[in-house]
Amino acid sequence: AQTVTQSQPEMSVQEAETVTLSCTYDTSESDYYLFWYKQPPSRQMILVIRQEAYKQQNATENRFSVNFQKAAKSFSLKISDSQLGDAAMYFCAYIAGTASKLTFGTGTRLQVTL
Amino acid sequence: DAGVIQSPRHEVTEMGQEVTLRCKPISGHDYLFWYRQTMMRGLELLIYFNNNVPIDDSGMPEDRFSAKMPNASFSTLKIQPSEPRDSAVYFCASSWHPTGVRGNEQFFGPGTRLTVL
């Protein structure tokens, strides 16, 4: 069975600094997708970034980028120039290429301080 | 499009009562998912539908939970009778085929916070 592990329950970063959130996963599939979702206090789940396993290039979306290490089954999220609005729960998620079900990690709560 | 719409946003009820949560997916999406989020168990997939047909309900905790999708624009999740341990945030999400066009995003609704006293 696929599992997603986020080992950092909480992280803190100062405004304008960079922070990296960790995620590891376990799968026997070769074709899959990885996601980072953001959940602010409003509870809305918002997709931050997506990575296709068959792509070697790391995905980037403005201030958000990932470090995808397929052999190590690691998928970390880097947030550059952190802003107060980045404060939220961040969930790592996995879906196999042949499946329809997302598997979520337990989340990392990110605090952004002045 | 208004996004995925859920109602009510908050529901407080007493143990033993029937609870019905509602969801309107994004028009054109043919997959609909119901999730439950708790502190203890995180985000759990309860059931999902494809073209209004339930595909996998293995996450539904017990027979007290049931879900229907009578048409492409409406789904319900019902709990009868409700228990305090059902207190959670329930999310509905929809997407185009998750794998037909690879790795499609699931769009989440704002959730319903359910409190069972």
Q: Which residues of B touch A42 (CB under 8 A)?
A: 110
**Single-letter code of the amino acid located at B62:** E
Residue with tokens 């998620």: A93
* Reported confidence tier of residue B100, pLDDT bands at 50, 70, 90: very low
Contact between residue A100 and residue B50 where contact means Cβ atoms under 8 Å apart: yes
- Rounded to 5°, the CA angle B96-B112-B92 comes to 10
Give tens-digit pLDDT for A2-45: 799 999 999 999 999 999 999 999 998 888 899 999 999 988 89
Q: Could you tell me which residues of chain A have a Cβ less than 8 Å from any Cβ in chain B? A: 33, 35, 42-47, 50, 52, 91, 95, 97-102, 104-107
Please choose, from the candidates B103, B105, B111, B96, the residue with its C-alpha nearest in 3D space to the C-alpha of residue B31: B96
Selected residues 67-106 of chain B with any CB under 8 Å from a CB in chain A: 89, 91, 93, 98-99, 102-103, 105-106
**pLDDT at residue B24 tops 80:** yes
Distance CA A78, CA A81 (A): 10
